[in-house]
Amino acid sequence: MIKDLNFRNFGLIDYDNALDLMKKHIQEKEFKNEIWFLEHNPVFTLGTAADKSHILDAGSIPIFQSDRGGEVTYHGPGQLIIYFLLDIKQLNLGPKSLVKTLQKFIQLLLEQYSIDSNFVDGAPGVYVAEKKIASIGLRFSKGKSYHGVSINVDMDLSPFLKINPCGYENLSMTQVTEFYKDITIKQLMQDATSIIKDLYISK
């Protein structure tokens, strides 16, 4: 468990700028465990295992090679990004156990809005029936984690049709507003903060 955990809201920020900030943060001598909330301007990102052929038609949307794990995905306004910059040694978590913890966190968050979700073996993320509602992509460096999760909230899902999301052909995407109309990013952030505190902060 963590005694101190900082929460920060960056609002709408370009992907490359956020990545630079994350890299600087995990290299700080006085490292602090932090959770970052933000949204990204439209961008397709390629993980370290990505095959560029899964981008079918990027059009005017920029493509960025990331250092996170995983395949190709899309980020855009209306999608809540939560980055977990954590000392996983302090938490006594390995990479796989952190992924499972993040899946459970998303599931608990969706339960706040009466959304039943599930997991798919070998495909990190969270699904509602067979549609993906949240993705997970992480990077680990010297015992620290960065990157995190993206939750589709109230966004234009059409760019996902221009790729094979997470490397899967015909994978359909969904979002929170398809099940809970009145949700806002702000409300989701507040509820996410409460759940993260319950999961990670020592009492």
CA distance 171 to 149: 18
CA distance 133 to 183: 14
Whether 166 is a known active-site residue: answer yes
Cβ atoms of 33 and 87 within 8 Å: the answer is yes
CA distance 85 to 154: 25
Nearest to 147 by CA among 4, 45, 12: 45
CA distance 177 to 156: 11
Which residue in 46, 82, 153, 166 is the catalytic one?
166
Element (H, E) at 39: strand 34-40
Cβ atoms of 126 and 133 within 8 Å: the answer is yes
Pairing of strands 6-13, 144-152: unpaired
What are the distances in angstroms from CA 190 to CA 3, 26, 80, 180?
20, 25, 12, 16
Provide the 8-state DSSP code for 110.
H
The catalytic residues are 166
